Structures are given as structure tokens and as C-alpha cells.
Amino acid sequence: MLDACGLAWGPTGGVGYQIATGIDVLHADSDLDILVRTPQPLARIQARTLLAMLDGAPCRIDAQLETPGGAVALREWAGFAQRVLLKSPVGPCLCEDPWAVRERAA
């Protein structure tokens, strides 16, 4: 589904850990944590469409959007809040545009 959208992505969280280590950490109720690379801005309407597609998957998918300034939760970016939490290399900050790298720390 993400490949069809032309988005580069990969697993993180428990799935990523299990792939990297070979240690069984997953169970039937495990969610799938993924990182979606978005070097260019993803419009909120596109985020809502992507979230709706992921919400139709057989397991819960928790997606983070990687931007040039850090990462933001897809579910949060797809919402209607004016500002969202960007997790950046210099710390978390609330911002209106996760692709604008000149945001202030919270």
C-alpha cells in the first residue's frame, strides 16, 4: 500500500527489533510501528487519506513521518490541531509545519 503510493518506509519498534536481533518479541496483539520518509511536505488531506488506508490493515499501524526537521506522528498530522509535536534532533517542539526546519524547542 505504501509502495503503491511511492513512499519509502520501513519497520521500527518491536518488528524492527525482531528483524534486527532475531529475538521473538511480537505477539498477536502487537502493533506495527513504521517510519515513512517524507522529504517533501505531505498535505494534511493526503495524510488523512494515508491514515484511512493504514487503519484498514489487519493490525494496528502506528506511523511516524520523517521530515527534514525530525518526525511527527501521522495520526497527529492527519488531525485538525493547528500545531503538532515534532520530535527533532534538538528536542521536541510544537510547530505548524513539520517540514520547516526553523522551529523553536517547546
33 is catalytic: yes
Which listed residue (31, 55, 62, 97) is catalytic? Answer: 31
Burial class from Cβ neighbours inside 10 Å (0-12, 13-18, 19+) for residue 72 reads buried
Residues 6 or more apart from 49 whose CB is under 8 A from it? none
Select which of 24, 29, 33, 55 is catalytic: 33
User: CB neighbours (10 Å) of residue 2?
Assistant: 16
Bridge partners (DSSP) of residue 65 are 36, 72
* Calpha distance 43→11 (Å, rounded): 23
Told to judge if 62 belongs to the known catalytic residues of this protein, a careful annotator would answer: no
Known catalytic residues are 31, 33
